[in-house]
Amino acid sequence: MNIILIGFMGSGKSTVGKALRDLLGFSLVEMDEIVCQKTSSKTMTDLFAKGGEKLLRKTEALVAKDYVDQKRLIISTGGGVVLNPAILDNFKIVGGKVFFLNAPFELIAKRLEKDKTRPLFTNLLNAKAIYKDRLPLYHHYADEIVNITTQSPEELALIIKEGYFHGL
Ligand code: S3P
């Protein structure tokens, strides 16, 4: 069974994914990185310049298909995968447990204050509107909700590990 990490930009999917990889010895799949590779983009900003959000969503769907049959993966998704029902439905059907890293917007805004790598997080008001729209989707797909406060990535990895083995 795979571990799927979902959540808004800046919720810590990548850092927690790395801590989980070190803890469990599973392989880590960074969807954003693979999406960039597949579109020959150096960065997400580069990808958006080429084909906008449309290119991102189309490539995310292709990347997800490539990993759907594999086991013992930690899949760190991009914050927008919940917009395409096929992605998480398929991950779940083949045996994936979805953990929603639920960080309050204030924490995310603080973390991403100086971030220049996320084309959909350039304006705080706009980002907050996207966050509000997405919240019900994250809740819908979550098998487990991990509330993010002050825990370290390693502490969060332990919480997720427990949740993962609990269901087996
Ligand atoms: C996006 C999240 C980003 C990346 C892209 C769009 C989104 O990933 O896929 O910039 O729509 O929420 P992270 O969640 O890893 O920042």
- CA 118–ligand 1 middle distance (angstroms): 7
Least confident span in 79-83, 96-100, 122-126, 163-167: 163-167
> CB of 13 within 8 A of CB of 107?
no
pLDDT at 137 over 90: yes
Provide the mean pLDDT of the chain. 96
Which of 51, 40, 165 is closest to 99 using CA atoms? 165
- For residue range 48-97, list pLDDT tens digits in order: 999 999 999 999 999 999 988 889 999 999 999 999 999 999 998 888 99
- For residue range 145-159, list pLDDT tens digits in order: 999 999 999 999 999
The band of 8, judged by pLDDT with boundaries at 50, 70 and 90, is: very high
pLDDT at 119 over 80: yes
Q: Please report how the helices 85-93 and 44-67 are oriented relative to each other, as an axis angle in degrees rounded to 10.
A: 30
- CA 9–ligand 1 middle distance (angstroms): 5
13 lines ligand 1 (CB under 6 A): yes
Ligand 1, from 120, 123, 132, 148: best to mutate by most atoms within 8 Å of Cβ? 120
- Quick one: which atom of ligand 1 is closest to the CA of 121? 10
In the beta sheet, which residues pair with residue 137?
none
- Quick one: which atom of ligand 1 is closest to the CA of 60? 9
Considering just the CA atoms, what is the radius of gyration of the chain in Å?
15
120 lines ligand 1 (CB under 6 A): yes
Which stretches does DSSP call E strand in 38-93?
A: 73-76
Q: Which residues contact 144 (CB under 8 A, 6 or more apart)?
A: 97, 98, 99, 100, 160, 163
